[in-house]
Amino acid sequence: MRRPPIRRLVALLAVMAMAFAAIFVRLTVLQVSQAASFRDRALDQRLRTVELPATRGQILDRNGDPLAISLEARDVYADPRYVEDPWATAAALAPVLEVETGDLERLLSRDTTFVYLARQVDRHLADRIGALGLPGIGFLDASRRYYPAGALAAQVLGFVGIDGEGLSGLEVRYEDVLAGQAGERTQEIDPKGQPIVGGVDVERPPIPGSAVRTTIDREFQYNAEQALAEAVAQNRARGGTVIVMDPRNGDILAMASYPSFDPNQFEAAKQGTYRNRAVTDAFEPGSTNKVITAAAAVDRGAIGLRQELAVPWQMDVEEFTIHDAHPHGLQRMTIGDIIAESSNIGTVMVARRVGESAMASYLARFGLGRPTGVGFPGESAGILPPLYEWTDTSLATIAYGQGIAATPLQMAAVYATIANGGRWVQPRLVLGTRSPSGTFRPAPDPLTRRAVSAATARVVTRMLADAVAEGTGTNATIAGYQIAGKTGTARIPLPDRPGYYEGQYVASFIGFLPASDPQVVIAAILDRPVTDYGGIAAAPLFQRIARYAITRLSIEPGRPLRPPPTAGPRP
Amino acid sequence: MVLGIVSLNALLAQQSFRIDEAERRIDTLETERLDLVHEQASLSAPGRIAAWARRNGMRLPDDIRSLHAFGDARSAPAGADPSWGEPGG
Contacts of A547 in chain B (CB under 8 A): 63-64
Look at residue B79 and tell me whether its pLDDT is greater than 70.
no
pLDDT, position B88: 35
How far apart, in whole angstroms, are the C-alpha atoms of residue A512 and residue A503? Answer: 29
Higher pLDDT, B28 or A521: A521
Listed range (A318-327, A369-378, A393-402) with the worst mean pLDDT:
A318-327
Confidence category of residue A4, pLDDT binned at 50, 70, 90: low
pLDDT tens figures, A163-184: 889 999 999 999 999 999 989 8
Higher pLDDT, B44 or A192: B44
pLDDT tens figures, B10-63: 888 888 888 889 988 998 898 888 889 889 989 999 999 989 998 999 877 666
How far apart, in whole angstroms, are the C-alpha atoms of residue B72 and residue A366? Answer: 42
Helix H or strand E segment including B13: helix B2-43
Confidence category of residue B87, pLDDT binned at 50, 70, 90: very low
Higher pLDDT, A499 or A243: A243
Mean pLDDT of A308-328: 90
Contacts of A221 in chain B (CB under 8 A): 46
Higher pLDDT, A240 or B9: A240
Spatial contact of A472 and A510, defined as CB atoms under 8 Å apart:
no
Do B34 and A72 count as a contact with CB atoms less than 8 A apart? yes
Spatial contact of A248 and A512, defined as CB atoms under 8 Å apart:
no
Q: What percent of chain A has pLDDT over 70?
A: 99
How far is A411 from chain B, CA to nearest CA, in Å? 28
Look at residue A287 and tell me whether its pLDDT is greater than 90.
yes
Helix H or strand E segment including A485: strand A484-493
Out of B38, B47, B66, closest to residue A149 by CB: B47
How far apart, in whole angstroms, are the C-alpha atoms of residue A318 and residue A450? Answer: 35
How far is B32 from chain A, CA to nearest CA, in Å? 10
pLDDT, position B58: 87
Out of B37, B46, B63, closest to residue A219 by CB: B46
CA B58 vs. chain centroid, Å, equals: 25
| Cα A490–Cα A473–Cα A313 angle in degrees, nearest 5 | 60
How far apart, in whole angstroms, are the C-alpha atoms of residue A182 and residue A53? Answer: 5
For B:13-72, CB contacts with A below 8 A are 31, 34, 37-38, 40-42, 44-47, 50, 60, 63-66, 68
pLDDT tens figures, A444-474: 999 999 999 999 999 999 999 999 999 999 9
Spatial contact of A483 and A514, defined as CB atoms under 8 Å apart:
yes
Look at residue A235 and tell me whether its pLDDT is greater than 50.
yes
How far is A197 from chain B, CA to nearest CA, in Å? 10
Residue A378 falls in which region: left (phi positive, over 0), alpha (psi -120 to 50) or beta: left
Higher pLDDT, B76 or B30: B30
pLDDT, position A215: 97
Report which of A473, A505, A509, A479 is spatially closest to residue A492, judged by C-alpha positions: A505
Identify the three-state secondary structure at position A407. Answer: coil
Helix H or strand E segment including A423: strand A423-425
How buried is residue A278: exposed, middle or buried, by Cβ count under 10 Å (0-12/13-18/19+)? buried
Report whether the peptide linkage leading into residue A259 is cis, meaning its omega lies within 30 degrees of zero: yes
pLDDT, position B84: 44
How far is B7 from chain A, CA to nearest CA, in Å? 17
pLDDT, position A221: 97
Do B64 and A71 count as a contact with CB atoms less than 8 A apart? no
Q: What is the CB-side half-sphere exposure of residue A271 using CA atoms within 13 A?
A: 0
Contacts of A66 in chain B (CB under 8 A): 37, 40-41
pLDDT tens figures, A350-378: 999 999 999 999 999 999 999 999 999 99
Out of A65, A547, A557, closest to residue B44 by CB: A65
Calculate the average pLDDT of chain A.
92
Percent helix, strand, coil in chain A, to 5, is 40, 25, 40
Do A222 and B50 count as a contact with CB atoms less than 8 A apart? yes
Q: Which residues pair with A48 in a beta bridge?
A: A187
How far apart, in whole angstroms, are the C-alpha atoms of residue A247 and residue A514? Answer: 12
Contacts of B68 in chain A (CB under 8 A): 480
pLDDT, position B85: 42
Do A69 and B41 count as a contact with CB atoms less than 8 A apart? yes
Cα distances from A509 to residues A242, A330, A478, A483, A546, in angstroms, run: 10, 27, 15, 12, 12
Contacts of B33 in chain A (CB under 8 A): none
Among chain A, residues having any CB pair with chain B shorter than 8 Å are: 65-66, 69, 71-72, 123, 146, 148-150, 152, 218-219, 221-223, 226, 478-481, 547-548, 550-551, 557
pLDDT, position A413: 97
Spatial contact of A149 and B50, defined as CB atoms under 8 Å apart:
no
Amino acid at A400: Y
How far apart, in whole angstroms, are the C-alpha atoms of residue A503 and residue A509? Answer: 19
How far apart, in whole angstroms, are the C-alpha atoms of residue A169 and residue A155? Answer: 6
Contacts of A146 in chain B (CB under 8 A): 38, 41
Do A557 and B37 count as a contact with CB atoms less than 8 A apart? no
Confidence category of residue A185, pLDDT binned at 50, 70, 90: confident
Count of A-B CB contacts under 8 Å: 53
Out of B37, B50, B66, closest to residue A557 by CB: B66
Selected for mutation to probe chain A from B54, B64, B66 (highest A CB count within 10 Å) is B64
The CA R_g of chain B, rounded to the nearest whole Å, is 35
Positive or negative: CA dihedral B14, B18, B21, B27: negative
ipTM here: 0.72
pLDDT tens figures, A7-58: 888 999 999 999 999 999 999 888 888 888 888 888 888 888 888 888 899 9
Out of B38, B47, B68, closest to residue A69 by CB: B38
Confidence category of residue A498, pLDDT binned at 50, 70, 90: confident
How far apart, in whole angstroms, are the C-alpha atoms of residue A387 and residue A362? Answer: 12
How far apart, in whole angstroms, are the C-alpha atoms of residue A42 and residue A50? Answer: 18
Amino acid at A542: F
pLDDT, position A21: 94
pLDDT, position A570: 67
Beta-strand pair A59-60/A211-214: parallel
Confidence category of residue A423, pLDDT binned at 50, 70, 90: very high
pLDDT, position B75: 52
Report which of A121, A125, A119 is spatially closest to residue A107, judged by C-alpha positions: A119
Report which of A372, A385, A363, A392 is spatially closest to residue A290, judged by C-alpha positions: A363
Spatial contact of A512 and A247, defined as CB atoms under 8 Å apart:
yes
Do B47 and A150 count as a contact with CB atoms less than 8 A apart? yes
How far apart, in whole angstroms, are the C-alpha atoms of residue A267 and residue A183? Answer: 29
Report which of A416, A221, A301, A471 is spatially closest to residue B46, judged by C-alpha positions: A221
Do B31 and A123 count as a contact with CB atoms less than 8 A apart? yes
**Hey, which residues of A are catalytic here?**
287
Out of B38, B60, B64, closest to residue A146 by CB: B38
How far is B29 from chain A, CA to nearest CA, in Å? 12
Spatial contact of A336 and A466, defined as CB atoms under 8 Å apart:
yes
Confidence category of residue A334, pLDDT binned at 50, 70, 90: very high
Higher pLDDT, A241 or B30: A241
A260 CB contacts (<8 Å, ≥6 apart)? A151, A154, A155, A225, A273
Residue B4 falls in which region: left (phi positive, over 0), alpha (psi -120 to 50) or beta: alpha
How far is A401 from chain B, CA to nearest CA, in Å? 34
pLDDT, position B34: 85
How buried is residue A441: exposed, middle or buried, by Cβ count under 10 Å (0-12/13-18/19+)? exposed
Report whether the peptide linkage leading into residue A285 is cis, meaning its omega lies within 30 degrees of zero: no
How far apart, in whole angstroms, are the C-alpha atoms of residue A542 and residue A522? Answer: 7
Q: What is the CB-side half-sphere exposure of residue A530 using CA atoms within 13 A?
A: 5
How far is A137 from chain B, CA to nearest CA, in Å? 22
Do A149 and B64 count as a contact with CB atoms less than 8 A apart? no
